[in-house]
Structure 1
Amino acid sequence: MSGSEWRKSSYSSGVGGQDCVEVAATPNGRIHLRESDDPAVVIATHPTRWGAFVRGIKRGDFDHLSGNA
């Protein structure tokens, strides 16, 4: 995916930068997600949906899924 810079959370702790979710905004405005250890598989979403997902994470809406709630 040229023209986009992949970013990952500073909380990512995978050995050698692996086991991390990476995010990139594309020139056409889409948000792309991928797993760092399998970068060929990319999921695309709309910025509005990505924003809603991130807000849900910050609110703790998904904490029960991690087993750490």
Structure 2
Amino acid sequence: MSPTLHWQKSSFSGGDEDEDCLEIASSPTSLHLRESDHPTTILSPTPGALRALLNAVKA
């Protein structure tokens, strides 16, 4: 049985509840990402893939 994920809205997202935003949740073994307008599509990147994504976004 998989644990229930508790999603947190990105602090960089707008303040309105109706705005689409990036959300993050963690489990004991990984991080999970989703867009609020597509909540059933969840990305669970490996640490290396997440690092590459963050580096690309920063660049």
Which residue pairs with 1:25 in the alignment? 26
- 1:11 equivalent to 2:12? Answer yes
CA, structure 1 residues 8+26, in 2 after alignment: closer, same or farther (shift >3 Å)? same
- Structure scoring higher RCO (CA < 8 A, sep ≥ 6) equals 2
| C-alpha contact 1:14 1:20 (8 A) present in aligned 2 | no
Identity %: 37
TM-score between both structures, scaled by the size of structure 2: 0.65
TM-score between both structures, scaled by the size of structure 1: 0.59
Aligned length: 57
Greater C-alpha radius of gyration: 1
Which residue pairs with 1:64 in the alignment? none
Question: RMSD in angstroms over aligned alpha carbons?
Answer: 2.2
